[in-house]
Amino acid sequence: MLSPITFPTLPGFKKNSSSAYRAHLGQRGIMGNLLKVLTCTELEHGPIVFLDFEHAQPTEAETAVWNQVSAVLEEAHGILAELQSYNGAGQEIREAIQNPNDLQLQEKAWNAVCPLVAKLKRFYEFSLRLENALRSLLEALTSPPYAPMQHLEREQALAKQFAEILHFTLSFDELKMTNPAIQNDFSYYRRTISRNRLNNQQLEAENEVNNEMANRMSLFYAEATPMLKTLSNATTKFVSENKTLPIEDTTDCLSTMACVCRVMLETPEYRCRFTNTDTMLFCMRVMVGVIILYDHVHPVGAFAKTSKIDMKGCIKVLKEQPSNSVEGLLNALRYTTRHLNDDSTSKQIRALLQ
């Protein structure tokens, strides 16, 4: 993702001068692509977290979770490619609806829709695997005895996978939001199934997508950003089920990653070293993804004054980019966050998202 870079110390920030810290850096070998950011409170003496989004390799302790998540991420590229090439059966459906008595056109539309619905089923089932992968990463990155900062520093490969999941999620949802054929195709499929049930007919396609599965898929695709909704629900569930784990362990992990991406994007010394626009988009998607997860999990959300995320800075960074590349991300902040419209959200932040 990133070209070899040596990052200078940010103005006003100091490195921890302890011998243990220097020894740790020596062991990790200051890799060329380390992203250096302070805690999200950006206190002068805050601990520095290094995240390597390009070269991070799993340690022995990370390997089990890394392998599990890697098996899921290997499918992600193919899922996006399929979604990007999803053209829908709009023409066939229109012809069938306009000519309800033409059995040949009805069959043509049905034969066009069925393989598309099978594809939509694969997308939905992948979201369930992604949810399990996210849970495994959250468990690894928040478990005792280490603090969130220590986890991100020690488990770089898992932090990278977390970022990759968010990148995929925002990419998927952007494609889905701009493709109305998905819901049109699925609606036609469900109407046809219902009509045939009334006529006591069962179509072969029902064996693959039965009524229960169709209901779950319908709820999934009804969301503007279905993958992000899945991850938000999974993160909220993770926090509620792990009552002995302080909620700050999860939210600090998320807010730190948001800061990593924001500083990369807003600091000229960092940004000018990106080799291509894909790196910029990767960072923007990850930043927006962790903001939304934070907003769903934290009791007062990401937009309050007490939030550890600099929301003004994050939104300004997005709005400095070409509108065609960030409109989907801004819409995700507008419509999939939980606390944007709370009274505690400043008018300035709301105005930035108008």
Q: Determine the longest span between alpha carbons in the chain, in angstroms.
A: 82
In sequence order, what are the residues at sequence separation of 6 or more whose Cβ sits closer than 8 angstroms to the Cβ of residue 206? Answer: 193
Of the two residues 39 and 211, the one the predictor is more confident about is: 211
In sequence order, what are the residues at sequence separation of 6 or more whose Cβ sits closer than 8 angstroms to the Cβ of residue 334? Answer: 340, 353
Q: What is the DSSP letter of 223?
A: S
Q: What is the DSSP letter of 36?
A: E
Dihedrals phi, psi of 51, to nearest 5 degrees: -125, 130
- Where helices occur in 209-344 by DSSP H, the ranges are 211-222, 226-241, 247-266, 268-271, 277-297, 311-319, 323-336
Contact status, residue 227 vs residue 177, Cβ threshold 8 Å: no
**Cβ contacts of 93-96, under 8 Å, gap ≥ 24:** 93/184, 93/185, 93/188
247 burial (CB, 10 Å; 0-12 / 13-18 / 19+) is middle
pLDDT in tens, 95-135: 999 999 999 999 999 999 999 999 999 999 999 999 999 99
Of the two residues 322 and 65, the one the predictor is more confident about is: 65
Distance CA 352, CA 173 (A): 22
- Give the other-Cβ count within 10 Å of 46's Cβ: 16
Helix (H, G, I), strand (E, B) or coil at 101: coil
pTM recorded for the entire structure: 0.80
CA–chain centroid gap for 297, Å, is 15
pLDDT in tens, 265-311: 887 777 776 666 677 888 888 899 999 999 988 999 999 999 999 99
